[in-house]
Amino acid sequence: MQHSKQILVTGGAGFLGSFLCERLLAQGHEVICVDNFFTGSRWNVAHLVSNPAFELIRHDVTFPLYLEVDEIYNLACPASPVHYQHDPVQTTKTSVHGAINMLGLAKRLKAKILQASTSEVYGSPDMHPQQEGYWGNVNPIGPRSCYDEGKRCAETLFFDYWRQHALRIKVARIFNTYGPRMHPDDGRVVSNFIVQALRNQSITIYGDGTQTRSFCYVDDLITGLISLMETSDEVTGPINIGNPGEFTMLELAELVLELTGSRSKIEFLPLPIDDPRQRQPDISVAKDVLGWTPRTPLREGLGKTIAYFDGLLSSNRSGHVAAE
């Protein structure tokens, strides 16, 4: 039987956070979920509220928080371009001030803390696939910089707290993740394609469709995060958590069309600024250190995600669903 811990999850009502809260509760821990509901949603954790081991607090991590916990998962930050570009200053503040506040809390409590970083720290990569030792190729003044550089600065802070205060840190670099509870209007490619296909609207591909992404199903990702948190204190990361299976946008669109039986046509639009051409994790460190590999094939994960969006659209409740 695992020792029950008090665990704080910031961004806990978001897409990834809600699944993490669910898994930690299932393991017998007490979970404090903190979210300001900018992109998170009460709907994502409504089924957990009756659990006496679960507590939901509305709070913005750019302000200090005083709690007693054993571990902290810092997931607070809008993760889709539509949301993080809506208020870029606030996005940077959430990454940087949020990291400072959570690191300060962890330091006071001598708690272990995990940062949900991102593959976006690699920018538009010159190295393929991306290894953790790669420093990245990031535009510091572009429209995506608030997220990319905010997350890079958060990693800097984590490692400075580790060096300066011997804080027990874990840094996970999360690659494209998908699954139920994604926001239908978050602008990310999986949710975009599925919603367009279910509505029989044109499937919009930016560029010529040859750019690639690697898609990790949410259950696999959560297993990776928890596995990283449970490693010994010597393991800090950063560690790539993602699925190395690489697909072009055209391949993804065609698979979504097949699985939905949609009548949608494919439409090509210009590529957005700083949109990376390739994104694929090298997960050899995760395999060696965590014994972790993703298990859910894209076809299977898409089937579950399509079923979720189908139910959502038919219930006309899309306004209540939220992203990471």
90-115: per-residue pLDDT in tens? 999 999 999 999 999 999 999 999 99
Could you confirm whether 84 is annotated as catalytic? no
State which fold the 6-247+258-320 domain adopts. Rossmann fold (3.40.50)
Q: Which residues, other chains included, contact 66 with Cβ-Cβ below 8 Å and sequence gap of 6+?
A: 105
Residue-level pLDDT at 205: 94
Residue-level pLDDT at 279: 83
Using the predicted structure, report yes or no on whether residue 308 has a pLDDT greater than 70: yes
Mean pLDDT for the stretch of residues 51-78: 97
Q: Which of 43-57, 151-165, 179-193 has the lowest mean pLDDT?
A: 179-193
Q: Which residues, other chains included, contact 277 with Cβ-Cβ below 8 Å and sequence gap of 6+?
A: 124, 211, 212
Residue among 147, 161, 178, 217 flagged as catalytic: 147
pLDDT classification of 278: cutoffs 50, 70, 90: confident
CA distance 135 to 150: 15
